Amino acid sequence: MMIKRLSAFVTAALAVTVTVTVGIPFLGAHADDNRRAQLTLLGRAVLPVETYAPGPPSGTLLPPGTVNGITFPLPSQPVEGFSAVVAGRHPGEYLAMPDNGFGAKVNSRDFLIRAYYIRPDFKTAKGGSGEVDVDMNLKEQTSSYAGRSTRSHREK
């Protein structure tokens, strides 16, 4: 399933994660007078914080309310908050693994462990939309997670 969203107002961690982790093609480097490499961000792509993948509601074990403009519980599974980004199957594609939930096992039991293929269209001085396409790839098939899941119906 493809999820495509763009936001001019929300800068996601994706731009930083991709450029720091696998962003060599998107960084320019030169040495200063002290021979330290100076990095320059040449492009960025934004994944809005309210990008959700299909699935059951999540964050149901957090106190109901609004935190940083996001109302809990969430309508389905959040996509962003990547803790790992590596090269994907094709040039320009990356495999991204989200963080493991909401900070603790006790309040993250309804967060499905997944990985997503992402295709950022980096906005640079030469063009690019700054959008990020997300393609759901992997999903938790069994309860191999150390914490017990609160969902009895696992996605198949």
pLDDT in tens, 53-100: 999 999 999 999 999 999 999 999 999 889 999 999 999 999 999 988
Q: How many domains does the chain have?
A: 1
**Residue 145 within a domain:** no
| From 1-5, 47-51, 93-97, 100-104, the region with the lowest mean pLDDT | 1-5
**Residue 26 within a domain:** yes
**Residue 16 within a domain:** yes
Strand partners, 65: 72
**Residue 103 within a domain:** yes
- Mean pLDDT for the chain? 76
pLDDT at 28: 59
**Residue 49 within a domain:** yes
**Residue 60 within a domain:** yes
**Residue 100 within a domain:** yes
pLDDT at 139: 52
Confirm if 112 and 139 have CB atoms less than 8 A apart: yes
Report the distance separating Cα 13 and Cα 114, nearest Å: 17
**Residue 34 within a domain:** yes
Domain limits for position 120: 2-139
pLDDT at 135: 87
**What is the per-residue pLDDT across 103-126, written as a single tens digit (0 to 9) for each?**
898 999 999 988 999 999 999 999
pLDDT at 60: 96
Tokens representing residue 115 in the block: 């990985």
Confirm if 87 and 7 have CB atoms less than 8 A apart: no
pLDDT at 35: 74
